[in-house]
Structure 1
Amino acid sequence: MTLEDHAYDELLPATRRALLHRTAKAQAEGRAPSLVAAVVRDGQVVWHGARGSVAGRLPDADTQYRIGSITKTFTAVLVMRLRDEGLLDLNDPLGKHLPCPDLEAGAGTGVGAAAGDVTVAQLLAHTGGLAAESPSPWWERTPGTVRPELADVLGEQPFRHPVGQRHHYSNPGYTLLGSLVAELRGAPWEEVLRAEVLEPLGLHRTSAQPKAPYAQGLAVHPWADVLLAEPVEDLGLMAPAGQLWSTTGDLARFAAFLARGDERVLSAESVREMRTPAAPPESGDRYMGYGLGMQLLNVEQRTLAGHMGSLPGFLAGLLFSEEEEVGAVALANCTSGPLLGSLAAELVQTVVEAEPRIPETWRPASEVDQGVLELAGAWYWGTHAFGLRLRGDDGLDLGPLAAAGRSASFRAEADGTWTGLNGYYAGETLRAVRREDGSVSHLDLGSFVFTREPYEAGAPVPGGVDPQGWFGLG
């Protein structure tokens, strides 16, 4: 049996014990009535741990907890689906698609026209300048019927910052996105979510209302080991910002989808776009930024993406590493206590450090385009040396031959060019410029000229090459 045939989906006993120890420590030190966690690797759930009790029993991967703002990532997926279908552009102002009477009615108080000018992308990335919360009373502890209209969610002064100038987390912003989804689909947000995301991904234990078995939301007294039941409210219009209940089993599968994509829901390219930084972090924020519905965290030089969540009685954390395809989920039924974002990050770190990803077997290409093969090798931007390597998927990798410099991977396009996927050259076009006889003259990358020799004579180097050529100093 080869290494590839071996059951890599099974974690080593030492790793499993380390995961259980970290989970148990979080539950004990955070004083959580119950805490469940799971790890997913290469799309498969490889570990589940639980401490405490729910209704007198140890919770399992099928026990529901409320996940709070992880709901926002589900809502963002629905919005990205609308974009991919061509029903909206992320740069569209909200008012183009949501001509809601509630917004228009508030125009006299500054609600309607201004909120309608915020773009879909700004709402997704929390850069629309909207307030963090809806007007009093505290929306997480009041029924959704208290705010029956969008104008009630926004209030008379919905803005705290100029539009587009800073990241400011906004729950009302995701309420607007949920209403946008309902408007364009002609169905309630919850129905659209179930039909377009939950059912295709097999997330049968994720729902807007709790379904047994589920944990009761509790508050733990800060100075005594006693509990207080928290109310369970239907959030109404605020549901797209934090309504959902789910399990570690479902969320682990959702994390795998966010890392890989699934053509039935969103492509790999679209989920990659979601986890690409779209806004800097707020001052003092421990996160490195925010994508389109995803929080981004740097841990030991490793980028983790996902989202945290909380509602009275519940805490939740979901983080994953795209590079290692390892993710972790942690859920607890307490208003405050364990830091589940930190726990999820530590569970990911435990696995990737104890059991480094096994590289895929290298195999030669089955066929090769001789015209593309001609491009492989050393190129020079001015005097900076770069190497261009062909990948087996017809893409290219370009990187400096010295330690420092810009590098990027490129995707092949049907017209014979390549599009940058990351780094400085993300979205930029790389093309090979050929002479009349078909030979390669140079590479053009976003107007940068790469030549086979440093400042190659005869190449169209901007500004030209001094005819004196290279010289020394006597």
Structure 2
Amino acid sequence: MTSPQDELLPGTRRALSHRIAVAQAEGRTPSLVAAVVRDGRTVWHGARTSVDGHAPDETTQYRIGSITKTFTAVLVLRLRDEGVIDLGDPLEKHLPGTGAGEATIADLLAHTGGLAAESPAPWWERTPGALRPEVADVLGEDPLRHPVGRRFHYSNPGYTVLGALVEKLRGAPWEDVLRCEVLEPLGLDRTSGRPTAPHAGGWAVHPWADVLLPEPTEDLGLMAPAGQLWSTTGDLARFAAFLARGDERVLSAESVREMRTPAAPPAAPDVVTGYAYGLGLELRRSGERLLVGHSGSLPGFLASLTLAVDDDVAAVVLTNCTSGVPVVAVGADLVRIVAEAEPRIPEPWRPLRDIDPSVLELAGQWYWGTHGFGLRLTADGLLSLEPLSGPGRRSRFRPNGDGTWTGLEGYYAGEVLRPVRRPDGSVDHLDLGSFVFTRQPYDENAAVPGGVDPEGWRGIK
């Protein structure tokens, strides 16, 4: 339930209800449920038609397909944060003999490992997982379709391998590790590898007639880390809040931010759409809005989890049909409706409690050659560098405790910003990855590489 201050306006609620009603009717699906999260809390839930004669609610399970991959990625990032693995480690170091050992763990997380999109026949989503008892059966004799690390190529077997990696390093089945390390700490007690009542049944809808065909519900076996899970709008709403903020019991805010950062370039046809992939998360552009999350599909089910971090709004859409409902577009629309109808109210501005004068001295206008930049000290203790006008390189920087700062995003991610001081202690210039920033364009009093013409600035005679 939501408290009064969390409620959406009546017009917003009606717009959300209208959108899922259109999706259910035009998509010709037996049922559809959705939820919207704002400020980390579920503020709206909607459902169309019924499951077993009852309107589905926040506890009704649907199969979520490849959203499972995001859960698997969380387990892998936990191993990295504990120092058990490095994302740059080749798979062979920890799981030898797969035939895909050259790929790094980061490659597998970002679908740049060169692996095939699917496992060898038969169609794995509609056949028992017991038919593939070994990882070699999932990968096949020739697992690679592309050179390792060269391009994005979505791979279900890649996440099967990551699940096997988790099992080996934890010494327990993937689902048991997931329950202990992620589901229980986050309170996701309606997320499981097998359905528990109440749950929806999966259906195929005839493309040319309004009739249904039940879809099989297979245990995917070793392919489970790529698409096995069942979940609810209630659980996925809580998971979306975790992906926005992190939770120290599972992953830090910094690690989930890393998951949301593009790690793989888009495939050529997708460049225009702005699609990219992070570490277990998809990134899409919807107008000016960046959406992060994952979609999922298995025979009989479609699912999407969509998060707009800057708006602090997320949406979950679940339905029980094989095709017909554009769940990713519906999720994006639910986020847009709330973000535009009820824009996020910013936190009140407050001055800093105290400030180191040597840091305050850095704030203000700087020039890289003739390009003007502003360096601002923000309330969270970071430095923010951005062009004074127009597009250009920008980044926030965190303090390192020794007078230097490290870039957090964009071109300067990981690069060090170092104030260079004169003998009297005043700042001569900023060194940012060897680039020199001065207080005036090519300041003749600063140590500019190559020097500054002694005659200074002039007109043309």
Letter in 2 for 1:77: V
* TM-score, normalised via structure 2 length: 0.97
Q: What is the Cα deviation at residue 70 of structure 1?
A: 0.2
C-alpha distance in structure 1 between counterparts of 2:202 and 2:275, whole Å: 30
1:47 to 44, 48, 51: 44
- SS, match of residue 352 in structure 1: helix
Give deviations 1:350-372, integer Å, cap 9, x for gaps: 11111111111111111111111
% identical equivalent positions: 72
2:407 to 416, 420, 442: 420
C-alpha deviation, 1:460, in angstroms: 1.7
Instruction: Indicate the RMSD between aligned Cα atoms, in angstroms.
Output: 1.2
Tell me how far 1:446 sits from its aligned partner: 1.0
* Counterpart residue number, 2:337: 350
Partner of 2:248: 263
Cα separation, 2, equivalents of 1:34 and 1:298? 28
Shift of 1:187: 0.8
Are residues 82 and 8 of structure 1, via their aligned partners in 2, closer, same or farther at CA, if it must alter by over 3 Å?
Answer: same
Render the CA deviation track for 1:114-141: whole Å, top value 9, x for unaligned.
4011110110011111100001000001
Deviation at 1:95, TM superposition (A): 0.8
* 1:458 maps onto 2:445 in alignment: yes
Aligned to 2:223: 238
What code does the residue aligned with 1:154 have? Answer: L
1:429 to 412, 416, 423: 416
**Structure 2: any 5+ residue segments left out of the alignment?**
none
Worse overlay, 56-65 or 276-285: 276-285
Unaligned runs of 5+ in 1: 1-5, 105-111
Show CA shifts across 1:283-326 (max 9, x none): 43455111111111100111100000001110000110111111
| CA distances 1:378-422 after superposition (whole Å, capped 9, x unpaired) | 111111111111111210111111223222111122222211112
8 Å CA contact 1:15–1:351 kept in 2: the answer is yes
> Does 2:171 align with 1:174?
no
For residues 128 and 286 of structure 2, the distance between their equivalents in structure 1, rounded to whole angstroms, comes to 38
2:14 aligned to 1, 12, 17, which one? 17
Q: 2:172 corresponds to which letter in structure 1?
A: A
Matches of 1:7 and 1:228, distance apart in 2: 43
User: Which of 20, 23, 28 lines up with 1:26 in the alignment?
Assistant: 23
Contact 1:71 1:244 in 2 (8 A): yes
Cα distance, 1:8 vs. partner?
4.2
Offset at residue 434 of structure 1 (A): 1.3
Residue 398 of structure 2: which of 394, 411, 420 is its match? 411
Structure 1 contact 144–234 (Cα < 8 Å) conserved: yes
- Is the counterpart of residue 282 in structure 1 residue 279 in structure 2? no
Corresponding residue of 1:161: 146
**What SS does the aligned partner of 2:73 have?**
helix
Question: In structure 1, what is the equivalent of residue 58 of structure 2?
Answer: 61
Contact 1:32 1:52 in 2 (8 A): no
Choose 81-90 or 434-443, whichever is displaced more. Answer: 434-443
In 1, Cα distance between equivalents of 2:136 and 2:37: 41
Report what 1:140 is aligned to: 125
Normalization by structure 1: what TM-score?
0.95
Identify which range, 409-418 or 352-361, moves more after superposition: 409-418
Question: Residue 304 of structure 1 aligns to a residue in which SS?
Answer: strand
Instruction: Give 1:334's match in structure 2, choosing from 311, 321, 325.
Output: 321
Residue 428 (structure 1) shift: 1.1
Equivalent of residue 74 in structure 1, options 68, 71, 75: 71
Q: Residues 315-394 of structure 1 correspond to what in structure 2 (within 5 A)?
A: 315-394=302-381
SS of residue in 1 equivalent to 2:417: strand
